């Protein structure tokens, strides 16, 4: 008998004491229209959706807030600090986000460079400590550096979110070894955030054993975001299952799959 | 008096409360977070917080993001 390997044998993703039904988390930015966003997120079966904190447009020239479009019974809102370049700014945005009254979770981003959007890990660490001390469940967007990841865990982060590649680049998983090392060494969940471009990237990332993936552009900028949303949901499940199943060893030689006996003379 | 709301100078009646400001702007206080001179004002306190000339107000909400 072969062992039954299905998702019922997997543990659920738990971050900061809260359990989520999907290992895929998705952003809500860059969609051409709100209905496409809603349909794509629905197709992805993600539960956690990220949102940004911005000034209300008092002239009403742009669209109204996203809360008018999302079914809050269905989704868990994860506010981010996107656009912040210092620890002080990120802490200010996180406090404003918490005051909206949904939850204590914050996807903490402190950007260090406009061209690459790579994180400023010094200020990220500083902001993580301040916010964790204030009771926030900090999910820290960071680079694929093990030492920074360890320090973020020590600072009290609820999850560490190393990038696959730069935000919005779609370059896929550039350094699987670093991601595996971060996952191997940390106790808190490791959720890869940013850089996946298509379903195979998501699958390959989950096959490293990480706890989840957060993505936005790969779905929002696909030619058909709804189809890509579903593809990403399936890829994350497939990659997770493949990781749990345990892949066959790689060999440098061929091994026949059909019997070598019983061949005709 | 004049106050700054989201970076823009606005003339408002003397003694206006934060709740009054939101009402004037037709904003639902459940959908907005208010910062008054860099301090967050919780919803129950919006009614009792009065504005003064030169105050800086930020009104923020959630928008699409990654």
- Whole-number pLDDT of residue A7: 55
Would the pLDDT of B3 be above 60?
yes
- Whole-number pLDDT of residue A63: 59
Residue B45: inside a domain:
yes
Tens of pLDDT along A98-113? 999 899 999 999 999 9
Residue A264: inside a domain:
no
Over the Cα atoms of chain A, what is R_g?
A: 20
Domain that holds residue B56: 2-60
Tens of pLDDT along A213-252? 999 999 999 999 999 999 999 999 999 999 999 999 999 9
Tens of pLDDT along B7-49? 999 999 999 999 999 999 999 888 899 999 999 999 999 999 9
What is the average per-residue pLDDT within A62-73? 81
Residue A117: inside a domain:
yes
Residue A113: inside a domain:
yes
Give this prediction's pTM: 0.91
Residue A260: inside a domain:
no
Phi, psi of A83 (to 5 degrees): 95, -5
Write out the residues of chain B at the interface with chain A, using a CB-CB cutoff of 8 A: 5-8, 25, 27, 31-33, 35, 40, 42-43, 58-66
Which of A7-16, A40-49, A124-133, B40-49 has the lowest average pLDDT?
A: A7-16
Tens of pLDDT along A14-37? 999 999 999 999 999 999 999 999
Would the pLDDT of A6 be above 80?
no
- Whole-number pLDDT of residue A1: 43
Taking the C-alpha atoms of residue A3 and residue A139, their distance in angstroms, rounded to an integer, is 35
Of A104, A10, A92, nearest to A53 by C-alpha is A92
Domain count, chain A: 1
Phi, psi of A36 (to 5 degrees): -65, -40
Phi, psi of A205 (to 5 degrees): -70, -45
Residue A17: inside a domain:
no
Residue B65: inside a domain:
no
Q: CB distance A99–B42 less than 8 Å? A: yes
Tens of pLDDT along A129-185? 999 999 999 999 999 999 999 999 999 999 999 999 999 999 999 999 999 999 999
Taking the C-alpha atoms of residue A210 and residue A72, their distance in angstroms, rounded to an integer, is 27
Query: Could you give the ipTM of this predicted complex?
Result: 0.94
pLDDT band for position A65 (cuts 50, 70, 90): confident
- Whole-number pLDDT of residue A4: 54
Write out the residues of chain A at the interface with chain B, using a CB-CB cutoff of 8 A: 27-31, 37, 50-56, 58, 65-68, 77, 79-80, 82, 95-97, 99-101, 167-168, 194, 214-217
The CATH number for A170's domain is 3.20.20.70
Domain that holds residue A82: 22-56+64-245
Residue B6: inside a domain:
yes
Q: Which residues have a Cβ under 8 Å from the Cβ of A173 and sit 6 or more positions away?
A: A164, A165, A179, A192, A195, A196, A201, A204, A205, A208
Residue A191: inside a domain:
yes
Residue A257: inside a domain:
no
Would the pLDDT of A61 be above 60?
no
Check A107, A129, A137, A183 and give the catalytic one: A107
Residue A202: inside a domain:
yes
Residue B66: inside a domain:
no
Straight-line distance from the first to the last Cα atom of chain B, in angstroms, rounded to the nearest whole number: 39
Q: Answer yes or no: A107 catalytic.
A: yes
Q: How far is CA A41 from CA A37, A46, A47, in A?
A: 6, 6, 9
The CATH number for B15's domain is 3.10.20.30
Give how far A142 is from chain B: nearest CA, Å. Answer: 14
Phi, psi of B33 (to 5 degrees): -110, 135
Answer yes or no: are the C-beta atoms of B66 and A107 closer than 8 Å.
Answer: no
Answer yes or no: are the C-beta atoms of A13 and A23 closer than 8 Å.
Answer: yes
Residue A50, classed as helix, strand or coil, is: strand
Q: Percentage of residues in chain A with pLDDT exceeding 70?
A: 95
Answer yes or no: are the C-beta atoms of A201 and A173 closer than 8 Å.
Answer: yes
Answer yes or no: are the C-beta atoms of B1 and B11 closer than 8 Å.
Answer: yes
Answer yes or no: are the C-beta atoms of A150 and A101 closer than 8 Å.
Answer: no
Tens of pLDDT along A177-227? 999 999 999 999 999 999 999 999 999 999 999 999 999 999 999 999 999
Alpha helical stretches, state H, chain A: 34-44, 87-99, 121-133, 146-154, 176-185, 199-206, 217-220, 225-245
Q: Which residues have a Cβ under 8 Å from the Cβ of A204 and sit 6 or more positions away?
A: A172, A173, A176, A239
Answer yes or no: are the C-beta atoms of A43 and A233 closer than 8 Å.
Answer: yes
pLDDT band for position A2 (cuts 50, 70, 90): very low
- Whole-number pLDDT of residue A3: 52
Domain count, chain B: 1
Using alpha carbons only, give the angle A77, B32, A138 rounded to the nearest 5 degrees.
Answer: 35
């Amino acid at each position: 008998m072969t062992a039954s390997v299905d998702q019922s044998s997997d543990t659920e993703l738990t971050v900061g004491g809260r359990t989520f039904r999907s290992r895929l988390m998705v952003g809500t930015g860059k969609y051409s229209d709100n209905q496409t966003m809603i349909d794509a997120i629905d197709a992805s079966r993600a539960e956690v959706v990220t949102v940004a904190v911005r000034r209300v447009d008092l002239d009403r020239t742009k669209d109204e807030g996203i809360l008018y479009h999302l079914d809050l019974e269905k989704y868990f809102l994860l506010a981010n600090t996107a656009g912040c370049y210092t620890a002080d700014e990120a802490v200010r945005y996180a406090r404003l986000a918490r005051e909206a009254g949904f939850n204590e979770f914050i996807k903490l981003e402190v950007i260090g460079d406009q061209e690459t959007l790579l994180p400023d890990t010094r200020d990220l660490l500083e902001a993580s400590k301040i916010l964790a001390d204030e009771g926030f469940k900090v999910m820290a967007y960071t680079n694929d550096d093990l030492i920074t990841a360890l320090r973020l865990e020590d600072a009290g982060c609820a999850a560490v979110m190393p990038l696959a590649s730069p935000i919005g680049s779609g370059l896929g998983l550039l350094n699987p070894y670093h991601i595996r090392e971060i996952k191997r060494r940390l106790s808190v969940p490791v959720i890869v955030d940013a850089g996946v471009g298509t379903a195979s990237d998501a699958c390959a990332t989950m096959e490293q054993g990480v706890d989840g993936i957060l993505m936005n552009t790969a779905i929002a900028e696909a030619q058909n975001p709804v189809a890509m949303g579903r593809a990403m949901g399936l890829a994350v499940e497939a990659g997770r299952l493949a990781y749990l199943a345990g892949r066959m060893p790689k060999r440098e030689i061929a091994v026949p799959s059909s019997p070598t006996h019983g061949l005709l003379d | 008096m004049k106050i700054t709301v989201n970076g823009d100078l606005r003339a408002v009646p003397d003694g206006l409360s934060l709740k009054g400001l939101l009402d004037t702007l037709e904003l639902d206080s459940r959908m907005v977070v208010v910062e008054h001179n860099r301090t967050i004002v919780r919803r129950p306190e919006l009614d009792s917080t009065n504005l003064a000339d030169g105050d800086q107000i930020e009104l923020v909400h959630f928008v699409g993001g990654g």
